[in-house]
Amino acid sequence: MVAAQDDFPDELRALPIRLYYQDEARFGRINTIQRCWCMKGIIPSVKQQLIREYSYLFTAVCPENGTTCSLVMPTADTQAMDIFLKTLSEQQLKERIILCMDKAGWHTTKLLQIPRNIIIWFLPPYSPQLNPVELIWRELRTKYFNNKTFQTLDEVDDHLAYAIVDYTKNLETIKKLTNYSISYY
């Protein structure tokens, strides 16, 4: 499917078109034990936590320029997706956005309110390798959540907000990480 000028309202046709990818990830109080550095002769001790409380990070990235939009949400559902789409649309008012994402239930529902400057394109089923946001999840988990435990879900949310802001502040890093996917199209 190719976006045509006619896919956007007339008043938006002068705006540039940008390709964004979107995904959600679950972060919570269940941690993964991974290798870590320690002094020679010392056996590291890492707590394991198995509390099933989660928050969801919604993120969209433009591999062309490294721009991101992210929100920490309590759920992943249609209402949360509506809020995210509205936020992305308002953040990028001077762009027409083609938003590539998977077919999660809250992405495909007829109840979803899609802003005028966004067109949704769906990725093929079972193809996370086509979505560069998956690489951001890998980096966040490795660099910011490795062997960490949290006392409350609010701590998870605070740390998640810090991690996504800190990691995505360098646009060149995001471009290098995510730009691989559009070179194949």
148, 147, 139, 146: which is closest to 166 by C-alpha? 139
The Cα–Cα gap between 142 and 147 comes to 9
Instruction: Give the pLDDT of residue 83.
Output: 98
Which pLDDT score, from 0 to 100, does residue 82 have? Answer: 97
pLDDT value at residue 33 = 67
What is the arrangement of strands in the sheet containing 118-122, beginning at the earlier edge strand? 68-73, 50-61, 17-30, 96-101, 118-122
Q: What is the model's pLDDT at position 167?
A: 96
Domain assignment present for 20: yes
3 state DSSP class of 23: strand
- Supply the CATH number for residue 66's domain: 3.30.420.10
Q: Is 158 part of any domain?
A: yes
What pLDDT score does 51 carry?
67
| All residues at 6 or more sequence positions from 137 whose CB lies less than 8 Å from its CB, including other chains | 23, 25
Low-confidence ranges of the chain (pLDDT < 70): 1-6, 29, 31, 33-34, 36, 45-46, 49-51, 181-185
- Residue 134 is assigned to a structural domain of this protein: yes
Considering its fold, how many domains does the chain have in total?
Answer: 1
Does 148 reside within a domain?
Answer: yes
**How high is the pLDDT of residue 50?**
66
Cβ proximity of 16 and 95 under 8 Å: yes
Instruction: Identify the domain containing residue 108 by its residue range.
Output: 14-184
Q: Say if 1 falls within a structural domain.
A: no
Any domain includes 144: yes
Q: Is residue 42 situated within a structural domain?
A: yes
9 part of a folded domain: no
Strand partners, 59: 23, 70
